[in-house]
Structure 1
Amino acid sequence: MNKNNRMSKRLLNYVIVLLVCLISSAESFAQGTKFQVKGNVTDASREPIVGATIKVKGTSQGVITNIDGEYSIDTRSNAILEFSYIGYVSQEVPVSGSKIINVTLQEEVSKLDEVVVVGYGTQKKISVTGSVSNVSTKEIAKIATPSLSNTLGGQIPGIVTRQATGEPGYDQASIYIRGFGTWTNRSPLILVDGIERDMNTINTEEVESISVLKDASATAVYGVRGANGVILITTKRGQLGKPKVTLRSEYAVLTGLRYPEYINAAEYAGLMNEARDNAGVANMAYTDEEIELFRNGSSPYLYPNVNWVDEVLKKNTTQSITNLNITGGTEVVRYFVNVGYTTQSGLYRDNGDNAYSTNSRVNRYNYRSRVDVNLTKDLSVELGVGGIIQNRNFPGKSQYDIFYAIRNTSPLAFPVKNPDGTPGASPTYLGNNPWGMTTQSGYETQNWNTLQGTFSARWDLSSLVTEGLSVSGRFAYDHYYSNNKQYYKDFEVKQYMGEDAEGNAIYNILRNENIKNVTLAESANRAIYYEVAANYDRTFGMHNITGMFLFNRRDYVNLRNTDRTGSVPYRRQGIAGRASYNYLQRYFAEFNFGYNGSEQFPKGKRYGFFPSVSLGYVLTNEDFWNRNWWISNLKLRGSYGTVGNDISSSTRFLYLTTMNMNVSAGYMGKEGNNYMAGIMEGQTGNQNVTWETAKKLNVGFDLGLFNDVVSLQVDIFKEKRDGILITRKTVPVLAGFSGASIPVGNLGKAENKGIETALEVKKRVANGLFYSLRGNFSFARNKIIENDEPKPKYEYQDARGRRIDQTFGLVALGFFKDQDDIKNSPKQTFQSTVRPGDIKYKDINGDGVVDEYDKVAIGDPRTPEIMFGFGGTVAYKNFDVSLFFTGAAKTSFFLEGATVYPFLNGEGTWNVLREVYDNRWTSETAATAKYPIVLNANSYNNYQTSTMYMRNGSYLRLKSAEIGYTFKGRLIDKMFMDNIRLFCNGQNLLTLDYIKIVDPESNNGVGNYPMQRTINFGFQINFK
């Protein structure tokens, strides 16, 4: 019995062991055998997809493909792999024991699932009913410039950019959206990651996307700041996968463009004689012998021949930009970090004898990081930190002073240097030696530090409250600090008079060297922003409803300003909301509003309500549209709403009346021989002052053809701007107001309307060939409705009904041929004597006299009404080539002032352009002349604004071009790199225009630092 029991126990033990083994085997079988899966991911053309994500379903484990589209991942035999890439349909593939899995991803049929950044959120492109355009960051990267604002010109329909100068540190572009409908502040609101910030503090390598909001539907949530449009810049964030390191470095040679070409000293001396002869002056300024001395250069100190442009400016300079970024992450944490360094030198010639540099120069370090953390499946936070550390260096004299001196100083005024090396001079010019002002007047350094911090959190309340509901918060702290040091001196000024009997130089001392001052200044500003928001997004069967409600506030304060008004914080706060509905992705309706307050206005008038409504209809989502296979997308949309502009004056608190203290003109009497300073009325307040309002209407459509290979976007818009802030012009002086004390009022009215369109063709064909073509066009025309000006004597001189910035001037009929022509023409009243060769003007009102009443609207506005851009990219296997052109039309440029008026302040003053010299009126050139006769004194008749000096400002510019080659393969792989790309690109490579003597984008003729052509060489390494 005992034996049987022992046998039974032994058998039971065997059974238990067997069961355990079976259970373990079953569990092992259920989990699958662990091994490595390899493969590649390609598109329909069998081209590798770089950066595709492969993830084990149900886990956070994932990898991305390399430059050849290859991947490898450790998993189990019964796992499911998820393959995904932006713009392609995701796939799930069971492993089923396969060790090699190759996948072909299909492009999404429509672009409508793309996510677009909009005001305070994102939307799928299909649901956007407003006018929103996006910039390709790939195209921006092809423009080698430290200023992000200079990359947008021509890239987006409706964007107008103007770069006034090319000087490092000051080369940012002014930006307008859809022209402008006001004559006050015209700049758009610019937000970086939802915070108002300077876009030029952002490096192009840090940018993920740029959205431009144009109509009221898109900008109403910004209320009182939305009238001029909004630019939203989103910085990069981490991507799922192992760490990816990218190094990009580029070096550029910059060449100055359109340097002014002036005549030489001999020509200048001869022109002075000609001017005297034309004026009937018997004595000539120079003899033939003296003119020959200027020409042959045998006595350069007494008879100099100076090209001041060449003495002050170099032909070329350099620029380098380097960026290193790291990105990666898991389902829990994702991160992006970028650091960069930019250095750019100016075109000024430096003096090697100084212990300091007087050339303009910018050195800038930029940094930015962004970390996203999913604390739970419902709660996520984000932390972003960025900023720049920048040092700028300039000559002791300003850009304006230096270029003014170049224009003002003739080639024979004095030598560049005296025999002893000191700056040349004369009693007329004293210290205005352009070379001396650039190299001997000291220097200025500017140190600028910016810190930008953002923290945000989002809590999904779907499981706690109701599906689709979430709340979020954001806090931002920005600090700006700068300190400037200016070491300024008056250099020694002495005139070389020749040599004495012993051969020693004789000088006339005009000014001794004087270290005038060393100025130290600092400034600090702080901005604090916070917002809280609730969002709702839920689908009920065939209906989708979304909503957003938000409160925000921003305080901006100057921490170093001791002025009473300047030290008061700038504060804005308000609420914004959005509600949208769509049915079956066919019919869309959206309501947006902003209710904002600004401390610029008096109590009771600080808040305003700015609503908008928009509708959309996607015809191609209708069942009946399936027959029209070649039209893949057709969406109609329209919007109407009201937005505002509260930055209509640089003066704060216009509702307050101010008094100016200790004003010498407001004397209170005399104490002995001294007048006692008193008080004087300053600003006259207006208790009814408020913001501008803009009522905007927009209708448009989006069209996609052949599975969106071709896409077209068209918008027609109209805006009526009311309440534009202007200084009263109809208030008579007898009412007690004059000059600065005249009160301002919201009396201006204007209209702006136009059309814009964007076309794009993208196609990837067989054998590794890809091409894309794109273009955009915009036309915007404004009109003044009311400007509070008294009605003029003649209706044709009324600015109402004309375009904003319309130029008024005389209509030139050519030049007077002879005295009979002068006698038989209307009397010209701008100077007492009129000569043959003077400009002949049209008598508009027919009264027999040409005077101020004959000035009419001439030409087009300086800001172009038409802007366009077009270009394309072709890529074949490892090669890629791209070109992009920008252009403008319906714009006029007026050549005025010293640019084209020889001897503006009397003979011997101002340089003379060769263009004017070669095309001036003489008895021999009367039939072909483009400029009037030259006289030895002011010729007020010839210096009037007129069509004589009007030029067509249209231009076509090769804005950028790039060629690149990407190296990849086993050798690169062994170097722990995915690929290396070498590229060469250029900016401002070719310009076709009608002006020639100055850049068509310039605002100030030849009086500014020149624009530059950039030839850039670089490489980008993507490490494993």
Structure 2
Amino acid sequence: MKRLITISLHGVLCLLLINRAHAQDVTIKGTVTDATTGETLIGVSVAVKSTQTGAQTGPDGTFTISAPSTGQLAFSYIGYTTQTVAINGRTTIDIKLAVQANELQQVVVVGYGTQRKRDITGAVANVKGEELARQPVQTATQALQGKVAGVQVTSSGAPNSSPSVRIRGTGTLLGGAEPLYVVDGVLTNDIRNINNNDIENVDVLKSASASAIYGVRAANGVIIITTKQGKRGDLRVTYDGTVGFREAANLIKMASSEQYVAYLKDASPTTQIPDYNGTTDWYGTILRRALTQNNNVSVSGGTEKATYFFSAGYLTDEGIVIDNKYKRISIRTNDVFTLSDKVKLTTQVAFTHGTTRNVNLGSAYNDAYRAAPIIPSIVNGLYGNTALFGNVGNPLLDIGKNNDQVNESRLQGNIAIDYKPVKTLTLRSAINTDVNFNNQRIYNYKYAADENTYIVPGGNQRGDFSQLIMTNTNNNRYIWDNTATFQQTFGKHSLTVLGGFTMERYYNRYTYGSQRGAPENQDLWYLGTGDPTTSLASNPDLTIIPGDKFTRLSVLGRINYAYAGKYLFTANIRNDASSKFSKDNRSALFPSFGLGWVLTEEDFMKDQKLFSSLKLRGGYGKIGNDNIASSQYIVTALQNIPYFFGNAGSTGNPNNVALGAAINELKNANLKWETTEEYDAAIEFSMLNSKLSGELSYYNKKTKNALININIPEIFGDPNNQYVTNAATISNKGIEAALNWRDEVNPDFRYN
């Protein structure tokens, strides 16, 4: 019996030694890269399965970890598919992580911060910059068309025209219905200067609960644009170029000469028909197949201490109307400097210069539709006289006798510093600027209705004098943002608290000058070369304000809370003060909150196979709108108006004209903010291993105290007998549906 026990103990010891030999730890090294781009990934979690052992990749994407030679390593990274590999005694393991197709795992910009889409409780849509760059259009807003539910984009197609964007309907009549654009922290209302190839992401904040962090500027929604940054690694040079053409489609089929003559004989038998054998296609005379091209080159790279991104682009667009064209040069540099473990400095600068040749589209299109096909367009430099025959202008003359050129230079950028005194707290201060210089020169030629202009002289289409018009517009916007962000995870609780203030100053200066009789030689197109008695130093259109200046001061805060990754809560609050209102109505408070429930994180959903992710969300928000003229509440006087009675003055001449002032518009000194309140609810889901994702939303949005013109009696002396006041309510309701299919056949081929 004693011998038997000894043998048994010896056997157990042998088994333990054998097991230890098989489970001996090895040191494993490797590099983690993006499966698509090949770029190294920083901060990837590397964990030994079924243990507490873990590590992260460093700035160069490398890792070192000790693990049993028979174990497994799990590699996980936000936005990428988790990958598990067997060690099998290897000491070197390189991993390529594939981008995760799950829409709810995307990181989106939500204003003064970022969140995973699954953690967001408001209506936010994300579009990748690479999808926008594929579209042969000038602006990112044009490229958004049809990509985001609830967003309507309307564009005239004219080179350098600004598209009209409406997010969940129009919520104002006089307060400006365009959304707010935020480009790397710079607030603006025009993004035509942004090169689409420089864009990393576009995030659209559609609901009031999502956009309320921008307060007074967010009544019409917010479009946040994030441009590309350099990545740590070797120098990378990229070129992208497109060449194409555009032309008008589905034009109205116009009558031929034979059809038109037959019509005239029936409708007006006494009309003398010109002797012309051809048929003039008037649309064909002013429209063309327009060549467009876009060339871009970028250089990026970086080290552990600094990353850089530099790009240059050249875009040309001829336009489908003759003489209409646009050229733009764009330069951008985005740099990040890691000064220490606690301090990071970011600089972003973009410069664009564009030249636009506008044409008289309104008259040309109208005349092309009405001009008779039995009149030639132009023969040997002489124009067909459509005005003499049908009292309709010749479209070619409409365009050819007008030279309208705009030169625009724009500088946009910011400098920001981030300081982390402790791991959970980030202090950020950023100065943003947007400077725009716009110069327009319009020259209207002089021409007579004689044999030097027309094949057959006569008619009333003529220019009795030449006129040179010069305008200069300078805009300057400065914004100073200061925020503090606390972020902490403890147990199943995740908390992010944001607080800060922002100050904004805007200045606009507009100058105008015109003079008749300027010569046709372009080298002499200067004010002063024409008739000095016809000079004007102010625009006769009194709706154009010669200058503007306003300021805003805002205090903001936000709380994001999540429990166990499935119960979500977000609250925003912002207090805005604007110089566009009187002191009694200058400040207003705009709150919002949202709730979310990720059902697929619940135990009762663990065994189901239908949904990869499923989330319910809902929210409420209140936002304002101050997009009105700065002087809308201030009664102003129009100066230098000739008085009815003469003034003898020192000359003793009673016919001298006295200049005076007059109040030309009645105004409401008690104007208030337009306020928009919105409720919305949605269900978000993904299926089939996250290849199919979608969203179904309902929203109810109401604007109160909307500005509107009301009619007043003539006895009050207002020129147009109208009075602007808060007297309207506007309601928008809707259902939005979106479905997306994304699949990756292999690391080199993806489609959506």
From 25, 32, 38, the equivalent of 1:51 is 38
1:654-673 matches, within 5 Å, as 654-663=632-641, 667-668=644-645
- 2:264 is aligned to 272
Shift of 1:318: 0.4
- 1:471 is aligned to 427
1:10-159 matches, within 5 Å, as 49-53=36-40, 62=60, 86-89=79-82, 98=91, 101=93, 103=95, 105=97, 112-159=104-151
Shift of 1:199: 1.7
- 1:458 is aligned to 418
Contact 1:431/1:491 (<8 A) preserved: no
- 1:541 is aligned to 491
C-alpha distance after superposition, 1:353-410 (max 9, x if no partner): xxxxxx1121111111111111111111100011211122245xx2223223323433
- 1:284 is aligned to 270
Shift of 1:483: 2.4
1:709 aligns with 2:669: no
1:368-383 matches, within 5 Å, as 368-383=332-347
- 2:243 is aligned to 251
- 1:691 is aligned to 673
C-alpha change, 1:87 and 1:425, in structure 2 (3 Å) is same
Provide the secondary structure at the position in 1 that maps to 2:192.
Answer: helix
- 1:335 is aligned to 308
From 606, 630, 634, the equivalent of 1:626 is 606
- 1:763 is aligned to 743
Work out the percentage of aligned pairs sharing the same amino acid.
26
C-alpha change, 1:667 and 1:540, in structure 2 (3 Å) is same
Provide the secondary structure at the position in 2 that maps to 1:728.
Answer: strand
C-alpha change, 1:262 and 1:378, in structure 2 (3 Å) is same
d(CA) in 1 for partners of 2:148, 2:415: 31
- 1:874 is aligned to none
d(CA) in 1 for partners of 2:204, 2:460: 57
From 507, 512, 517, the equivalent of 1:557 is 507
Shift of 1:770: 5.0
Q: Bigger radius of gyration, 1 or 2?
A: 1
Contact 1:544/1:581 (<8 A) preserved: yes
C-alpha change, 1:682 and 1:263, in structure 2 (3 Å) is same
Q: Which runs of 5+ in 1 are unaligned?
A: 1-30, 43-47, 64-72, 277-282, 298-304, 350-358, 499-504, 773-1024
- 2:377 is aligned to 416
d(CA) in 1 for partners of 2:688, 2:57: 38
Q: Which runs of 5+ in 2 are unaligned?
A: 1-25, 44-54, 68-72, 513-537, 539-543, 648-652
C-alpha change, 1:601 and 1:41, in structure 2 (3 Å) is closer
- 1:211 is aligned to 203
- 1:600 is aligned to 580
- 2:52 is aligned to none
Provide the secondary structure at the position in 1 that maps to 2:214.
Answer: helix
C-alpha change, 1:92 and 1:539, in structure 2 (3 Å) is farther
Shift of 1:654: 2.0
Provide the secondary structure at the position in 1 that maps to 2:742.
Answer: strand
d(CA) in 2 for partners of 1:420, 1:539: 78
1:436 aligns with 2:411: no
Provide the secondary structure at the position in 2 that maps to 1:403.
Answer: helix
d(CA) in 1 for partners of 2:33, 2:217: 46
C-alpha change, 1:40 and 1:239, in structure 2 (3 Å) is closer
Task: Give the number of aligned pairs.
Answer: 676
- 2:534 is aligned to none
1:308 aligns with 2:285: no
C-alpha change, 1:516 and 1:39, in structure 2 (3 Å) is same
- 2:553 is aligned to 573
1:189 aligns with 2:180: yes
Contact 1:60/1:331 (<8 A) preserved: no
Contact 1:423/1:492 (<8 A) preserved: no
d(CA) in 2 for partners of 1:59, 1:194: 30
C-alpha change, 1:561 and 1:468, in structure 2 (3 Å) is farther
1:522-537 matches, within 5 Å, as 522-537=472-487
1:320 aligns with 2:320: no
Contact 1:536/1:547 (<8 A) preserved: yes
C-alpha distance after superposition, 1:584-635 (max 9, x if no partner): 1121222101111111111121110000111111222122321223323222
Provide the secondary structure at the position in 2 that maps to 1:435.
Answer: helix
C-alpha change, 1:90 and 1:548, in structure 2 (3 Å) is farther
d(CA) in 2 for partners of 1:766, 1:161: 34
Amino acid at match of 1:153: Q
C-alpha distance after superposition, 1:122-158 (max 9, x if no partner): 1122221111111132322221111222111110011
C-alpha change, 1:716 and 1:77, in structure 2 (3 Å) is closer
Contact 2:384/2:456 (<8 A) preserved: no
From 431, 440, 449, the equivalent of 1:493 is 449
d(CA) in 1 for partners of 2:338, 2:302: 11
- 1:952 is aligned to none
RMSD between superposed Cα atoms in Å? 3.8
Contact 2:493/2:564 (<8 A) preserved: yes
Contact 2:130/2:197 (<8 A) preserved: no
- 1:800 is aligned to none
Contact 1:682/1:741 (<8 A) preserved: no
Shift of 1:345: 1.2
Contact 1:393/1:445 (<8 A) preserved: yes
Shift of 1:225: 1.6
Could you tell me the TM-score, scaled by structure 1's length?
Answer: 0.60
- 1:1019 is aligned to none
Provide the secondary structure at the position in 2 that maps to 1:238.
Answer: coil
From 703, 706, 710, the equivalent of 1:728 is 710
1:197-236 matches, within 5 Å, as 197=188, 198-236=190-228
d(CA) in 1 for partners of 2:165, 2:180: 10
d(CA) in 2 for partners of 1:733, 1:444: 39
Shift of 1:509: 10
C-alpha distance after superposition, 1:651-702 (max 9, x if no partner): 43222223334557x7357998999776543121212101111111111121
1:610-649 matches, within 5 Å, as 610-647=590-627, 649=628
1:173 aligns with 2:163: yes
Amino acid at match of 1:726: I
1:480 aligns with 2:436: yes
Amino acid at match of 1:309: Y
C-alpha change, 1:373 and 1:59, in structure 2 (3 Å) is farther
Contact 1:188/1:228 (<8 A) preserved: yes
d(CA) in 2 for partners of 1:668, 1:508: 43
Contact 1:55/1:81 (<8 A) preserved: no
Shift of 1:580: 2.2
- 2:521 is aligned to none
d(CA) in 2 for partners of 1:515, 1:646: 43
d(CA) in 2 for partners of 1:388, 1:272: 54
C-alpha change, 1:739 and 1:332, in structure 2 (3 Å) is same
Contact 1:347/1:360 (<8 A) preserved: yes
From 375, 379, 388, the equivalent of 2:352 is 388
Shift of 1:209: 0.6
Shift of 1:54: 6.0
Amino acid at match of 2:412: Q
Contact 1:726/1:744 (<8 A) preserved: yes
- 1:775 is aligned to none
- 1:787 is aligned to none
Provide the secondary structure at the position in 1 that maps to 2:138.
Answer: coil
Provide the secondary structure at the position in 2 that maps to 1:600.
Answer: coil
Amino acid at match of 2:395: P
Shift of 1:582: 1.7
Could you tell me the TM-score, scaled by structure 2's length?
Answer: 0.81
Provide the secondary structure at the position in 2 that maps to 1:406.
Answer: helix
Q: Which segment is superposed worse, 716-725 or 189-198?
A: 189-198
Amino acid at match of 1:455: I
Provide the secondary structure at the position in 2 that maps to 1:62.
Answer: coil
d(CA) in 2 for partners of 1:370, 1:768: 28
C-alpha distance after superposition, 1:490-510 (max 9, x if no partner): 234325999xxxxxx996698
Contact 2:301/2:309 (<8 A) preserved: yes
- 1:7 is aligned to none
